[in-house]
Amino acid sequence: MASNAVRKVGVKLIRLSRAVSRFRPSIPIEAVRRAAQSNVLKMPLVRNEPRPVSAPGVIAAKPLERAVEQATRALLAQQRADGHFVFELEADATIPSEYLLLVHWLGETPDTRLEAKIGNYLRRIQGDHGGWPLFEGGSFNISASVKAYFALKMIGDDIGAPHMVRAREAILAQGGAANSNVFTRSMLALYGAIPWSGVPVMPVEIMLLPRWFPFHITKISYWARTVLVPLTVLNALRPTARNPRGVLIPELFTTPPELVRRWPKGEHHRFPWGQIFDAIDRVLRFVEPHFPPAARRRAIKLAVDFTTERLNGVDGLGAIYPAMANSVMMFDALGYRADHPDRATARTSVERLLVVKDDEAYCQPCVSPVWDTALAAHALIEVGEVPGLATAPAVARALHWLKPRQVLDTVGDWAMTRPSVRPGGWAFQYNNPHYPDVDDTAVVVMAMDRAVRERGHDEDLPDCRQAIARGHEWVLGMQSRNGGFGAFDADNDYEYLNHIPFSDHGALLDPPTADVTARCVSMMAQLGPRRRSRDALERGLAFLKRTQEPDGSWYGRWGMNYIYGTWSSLCALNAAGVEADAPEVRRAVDWLVAIQNPDFGWGESGDSYKLRYQGYEDAPSTASQTAWALLGLMAAGRVDHPAVERGIRFLQRTQGTDGFWQEPRYTATGFPRVFYLRYHGYSKFFPLWAMARYRNLKGAANDSMRVGM
């Protein structure tokens, strides 16, 4: 009863505030004051917008400061001895399931205690619908469910157990395992559970194709490249799992796999490309067995050379699980002994992704230390000096850790399209020199720049000038033709390739997106006018204005979803000097205010990536998404808007006694509609960042404040 009453009051307050906010004065909004010589991103305050009534009243400074201090103390306690931060990175059931199945595919002696813990994890995250979702609270996903069921059966779960019966019934109700995606069917083919005719043809001879050919590995994304290359070797050799326990899943098929004639396609496949590539697949299926053996041997050698060059030590091929696992299976299929250095290194890389706890365990898709460290540094820089808390030394240690991880010598795959650009980026993981990304690089550069600007006298800080210059240079060199930025490659926008049968996930490419472009625009604007950057900045701004959605939001490729993209874009517009009363800023503000939840927070789910998206749909509030909305509104000069005050109250109310926020929901994205992520660090540094920003702006003596993001 009490919760319903609170909800009703919240709804009425928000409706009242929106009604009042519609009555805007006809006089123009006061111009934002900016320092004459400054090129640093500032947070303008819109002074004469009408302020809707906010029942809770002014936020008291002392409780807010206590909340900031508590969160800061908790975050500092998470810093590693060498200065970096790294938090768990959780996906769905697919990666832990694939790990279990990899062990048995290789015929290794399993660690039964580890298997039991992963089994506990898989059973806990099973959905009420009987299957497994792609994110917490999500709908049934057949591919994740098939893998989880297979893995649980592999480690000994009785198929008559209630949870297995529920899972099997849910899978069969959706047409059975034959309706799984390409990656799941590839795994089933490697186990001999389905014929190879159930997998699209992807011959290893693609390694021999010239650059001008419509399909070439330079034309697909880094993650597709590293996953696909070893997989083509497996497709050519077609090894079968050792599978000592002899476990298979025939009970998950409504039709025997060998009798299936039509395998599913990607939901996004459209005329005419879908039909064209289907025809090509049929031709390849007929002619592939007749490819010259010498050409196949040469192609396999090129694929192996590609893999070993990028093996990346114990951090693994591409530093992502699917590529690592494929490389291990490729080496095994080629006859490499378990103690062969390349195979042993690749196998070790997989083990390093495990998170093992007292009663549960799971396998991460990758690790995120550079990203976590850079974002935590931004939050601590925002907090500033707090009596009794060593925030400045913590920032200095974080930057000391980040600086030597800049990739300055390795010419990575990005140079396939930008051969004249010097290296200078940062990767997402501990080590991944062939695959730095512009998003991480921009965030690191801004953290370094802000720390130097605000604490240049601090002798503990590293000398970051050269690192900043090289990072800036590399990011500029990665700008695409259309003015935007992709994450890992430039001009990776060959959209027709997303229609090949292998790409039923629709995530084969790395095209420019608003969120990554916004980060790069923010970096360029913060660093100020430099040679070549003025034109790049203008082109980036034009891309952002061009890609704003009709409702005022921006798409978020790497964070969920339009809240993330809108926060990123508002920061960029403000950094570049776009006025707070500009139409694109007002539309974005109106959208954020309109979607605030009755509990005063913000939330958005993975369903927002559906192909038939018709606009925002209600989702439970989360701390990180609330923080993004608040940071976006404050970047737009709305620190005094009641929506911001309400959002801060949400964060205060939901903060835990440990200083952090509980956030079981997923708020990040690997591949839209296919693979989502839960960054365990997001609820630790983003809410702190937003509260500290609010405190700083409300206490500022002038209308603006020097910030990074």
**Nearest Cα to 73, choosing from 368, 372, 370, 387?**
387
Inter-CA distances, 565 with 554, 571, 582, Å: 5, 10, 18
Cis-peptide, bond into residue 272, ω within 30° of zero: yes
Residues whose CB is less than 8 angstroms from the CB of residue 153 and which lie 6 or more positions away in sequence, other chains included: 159, 164, 247, 249
Specify whether the CB–CB gap between 92 and 362 falls below 8 A: no
* Distance in angstroms (rounded) separating the CA atoms of residues 373 and 375: 6
| pLDDT score, position 178 | 94
* Distance in angstroms (rounded) separating the CA atoms of residues 630 and 129: 34
Specify whether the CB–CB gap between 403 and 416 falls below 8 A: no
| pLDDT score, position 1 | 43
Specify whether the CB–CB gap between 538 and 578 falls below 8 A: no
Per residue in 55-74, pLDDT (tens digit) is: 445 788 899 999 999 999 99
Per residue in 160-218, pLDDT (tens digit) is: 999 999 999 999 999 999 999 999 999 999 999 999 999 988 999 999 999 999 989 99
Active site residues: 439
* Distance in angstroms (rounded) separating the CA atoms of residues 138 and 331: 36
**How confident is the chain (709 residues) per 10-residue block, as mean pLDDT?**
44 42 32 31 47 54 94 98 98 98 97 98 97 95 97 98 98 96 94 93 94 92 95 96 97 91 68 75 82 95 98 96 98 97 97 98 98 98 92 96 98 96 97 98 97 82 94 97 97 89 80 97 89 88 97 96 97 93 97 97 94 90 98 95 97 97 96 94 98 91 57
Query: Which domains are assigned to the chain?
Result: 5-87+368-698 (1.50.10.20), 91-363 (1.50.10.20)
Residues whose CB is less than 8 angstroms from the CB of residue 636 and which lie 6 or more positions away in sequence, other chains included: 46, 570, 573, 574, 580, 585, 588, 589
Cα angle, residue 673 at apex, residues 321 and 611 outer, rounded to 5°: 155
* Distance in angstroms (rounded) separating the CA atoms of residues 263 and 143: 13
Specify whether the CB–CB gap between 82 and 699 falls below 8 A: no
Beta pairing class for 89-90 and 361-363: unpaired
**Helix 94-106, helix 142-154: angle, nearest 10:** 40
Q: What is the pTM of this model?
A: 0.91
| pLDDT score, position 458 | 77
What letters, b where the CB count within 10 A reaches 16 and e where it falls short, cover 128-154? ebbbbbbbbebebbbbbbbbbbbbbbb
**Nearest Cα to 552, choosing from 605, 497, 590?**
590
| pLDDT score, position 707 | 63
| pLDDT score, position 393 | 95
